[in-house]
Amino acid sequence: MRLRDLADIDSDSEVTGFAIDHRKVARGSVFGAFRGAVFDGEDFIGEAVDRGAVAVVARPEAEVAVVPHLSDPHPRRLFAGLAAKFYAPYPETVVAVTGTNGKTSTVEMTRQIWRMCGHRSASIGTLGVTTSDDQVKTGLTTPDIVTFLSNMAGLELGRKHYAKAAALFQEAKAMLEKCLPSDHPEIGTVLSRVAEIEYREGRLDQSKTLYRRALDILEKAWGVESPMLLSVLEDYSIVLRSQQNYADAASLNARIMKIRVRQALRSSK
């Protein structure tokens, strides 16, 4: 995206990302220079420009040379608006939880409930950005606007490229099978990812078969009570419910709950 398309300014510079830490500025970044409790981002404008920043968002009083100065009395608000435009699109449904205690627990429980209802979901809190596939540590209960928006955009993009993802996973599976035993856990993990794509595309029978194959491999490698099985078991349960196989789904959910209780008891010791 060009800077002229992002902001009301005559510039053909290509924007490649956003940064509020001058050390993370790369060529094409828009740098947000904000005053904080300890550091003043305006002190690092020169270094950010030297690193390749194509524009600086800062107070009108800030000294900016060489690159455009996107000024606003409330630069954080302007920066967030520009970043939101750059990183779009985002998931249609977003819920924010505020309060003194229990925010992260609440959003994580909500994420798990939504996931078991068949929705692709994620939570952001003290644990980082958590999805069904991964967890990214941010070091903060609420990450900075750049980290937040880029991860939100990644979630939305992840919902759309099923055909390409399936091809890549099948290619990875073929490569792994050439150099690993057929019961290696990495093969089981790839099978579970292909199973999820089959479910998202509405091919429930194929998805069920692949999840069963994946679990056969992973249970043998990790043990039937391993917490590492949880994401696969939860996804498999969704497929069973989608097929109206409620009895098997209920049995699987009881197993999931049993593993989670054991995990919580171990963590509390």
Q: Are 252 and 173 within one domain?
A: yes
Residue after which a domain boundary falls, among 56, 87, 118: 87
Q: Are 130 and 197 within one domain?
A: no
Q: Are 185 and 261 within one domain?
A: yes
Q: Are 196 and 252 within one domain?
A: yes
Q: N- to C-terminal Cα distance for the chain?
A: 51
Q: Give dist(CA 73, CA 6) in Å, integer.
A: 19
Residue 121 has a pLDDT of 80
Which residue range(s) make up the domain with 52? 3-87
Q: How many domains is the chain built from?
A: 3
Please report whether residue 95 resides in a domain. no
Please report whether residue 97 resides in a domain. no
Please report whether residue 187 resides in a domain. yes
Q: Give dist(CA 12, CA 229) in Å, integer.
A: 49
Please report whether residue 69 resides in a domain. yes
Q: Are 181 and 262 within one domain?
A: yes
pLDDT tens for 187-244 read 888 888 888 888 878 889 999 999 999 999 999 998 988 888 888 898 899 999 999 9
Please report whether residue 93 resides in a domain. no
Q: Are 114 and 69 within one domain?
A: no
Please report whether residue 119 resides in a domain. yes
Q: Which residues of the chain have pLDDT under 50?
A: 157
Cβ(32)–Cβ(17) under 8 Å?
Answer: no
Residue with tokens 């949880």: 230
Please report whether residue 75 resides in a domain. yes
Closest CA to 20 of 143, 138, 146: 146
Map the chain to HEC letters. CEHHHHCCCCCCCECCEEECCHHHCCCCEEEECCECCCCEHHHHHHHHHHHCCCEEEECCCCCCCCCCEEECCCHHHHHHHHHHHHHCCCCCCCCCCCCCCCHHHHHHHHHHHHHHCCCCCCEEECCEEECCCCEECCCCCCCCHHHHHHHHHHHHHHCCCHHHHHHHHHHHHHHHHHHCCCCCHHHHHHHHHHHHHHHHCCCHHHHHHHHHHHHHHHHHHHCCCCHHHHHHHHHHHHHHHHCCCHHHHHHHHHHHHHHHHHHHHHHHC
